[in-house]
């Protein structure tokens, strides 16, 4: 399966966001990653449903909405209505993930479960039969431009092995510090979707995306 690249618009220039979205889409982005932060689950505030709705008409490329909020269940419908195709929620948030996942599907979006670097893989296992995406964070969520945490690599390997062994149709996504070198590392461990913010935006979007894709594809081809 070809590796997918999801540019994170958190690293785009917000004074010309529409233009940057179009640049990423024209460069071949497979989806756009949109980071929602509530200043509580993580110490930062980013975007809301109005922003998602305002860029929705610009492209048909799927919107992959990453909810870094304390109460994700309160925001499922509002982001699905704003145009989210995927809605990923943290296992560490204050909610009942089974119920939130059902609500996401009920709202017509694809559910995903996310885990932070410090959270062991076992915590998400009960939810994997119900989700379309598993997002393994390779930085502590909150900000773009942080360094990739290589100590998460064994967890990516563990997740890949588990999904394959159980034959679960769940895409394995990674997010945080993905640049050329780290794209190759995670692709080698079997990641399917690579999120990259500062590795792609704001300048040379086309070139950055192409080079990350090439590095990931080459590493994935070398697996096994």
Residues that bind Zn ion (CB under 5 A): 35, 66, 175
Segment contacting ligand DX5 (CB under 6 A): 18-26, 139-147, 161-169, 206-214? Answer: 139-147
Footprint on residues 9-28 left by ligand DX5 (CB under 6 A)? 10-11
User: With contact defined as beta carbons under 8 Å apart, do 128 and 166 qualify?
Assistant: yes
Which residue lies nearer to ligand DX5 by CB, 9 or 109? Answer: 9
**Lookup result for tokens 């305002």:** 54
Q: Which residues belong to the active site?
A: 35, 175
Segment contacting ligand DX5 (CB under 6 A): 48-56, 149-157, 162-170, 174-182? Answer: 174-182
Looking at 66, 155, 160, 188, which residue binds ligand DX5 (CB under 6 A)?
Answer: 66
How deeply is 144 buried, as exposed, middle or buried, from its count of CB atoms within 10 A (0-12, 13-18, 19+)?
Answer: buried
By CB under 6 A, is residue 46 in contact with ligand DX5? no
Diameter over CA atoms, the chain: 46
**Lookup result for tokens 């694809």:** 110
Which residue lies nearer to Zn ion by CB, 30 or 175? Answer: 175
Q: How far apart are CA 224 and CA 66, in angstroms?
A: 31
Q: How far apart are CA 70 and CA 60, in angstroms?
A: 29
- Give the residues lining the site for ligand DX5 (CB under 6 A): 8, 10-11, 33, 35, 66, 139, 141-146, 175-178, 195-199
């Amino acid at each position: 399966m070809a590796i997918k690249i999801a540019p994170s618009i958190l690293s785009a220039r917000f004074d010309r966001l529409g233009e940057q979205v179009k640049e990423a889409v024209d460069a071949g982005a497979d989806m756009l990653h949109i980071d929602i932060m509530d200043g509580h689950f993580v110490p930062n505030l980013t975007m809301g449903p109005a922003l998602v709705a305002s860029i929705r008409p610009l492209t048909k490329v799927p919107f992959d909405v990453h909810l870094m909020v304390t109460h994700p269940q309160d925001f499922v419908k509002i982001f699905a209505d704003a145009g989210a195709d995927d809605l990923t929620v943290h296992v560490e948030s204050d909610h009942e993930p089974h119920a939130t996942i059902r609500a996401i599907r009920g709202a017509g979006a694809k559910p995903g479960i996310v885990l932070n670097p410090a959270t062991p893989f076992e915590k998400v296992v009960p939810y994997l039969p119900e989700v379309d995406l598993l997002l393994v964070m390779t930085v502590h969520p909150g900000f773009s431009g942080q360094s990739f945490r290589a100590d998460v690599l064994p967890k990516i390997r563990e997740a890949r092995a588990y999904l394959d062994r159980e034959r679960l149709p769940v895409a394995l996504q990674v997010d945080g510090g993905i640049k050329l070198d780290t794209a190759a590392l995670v692709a080698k461990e079997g990641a399917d979707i690579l999120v990259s913010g500062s590795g792609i935006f704001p300048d040379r979007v086309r070139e950055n995306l192409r080079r990350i894709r090439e590095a990931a594809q080459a590493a994935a081809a070398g697996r096994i």
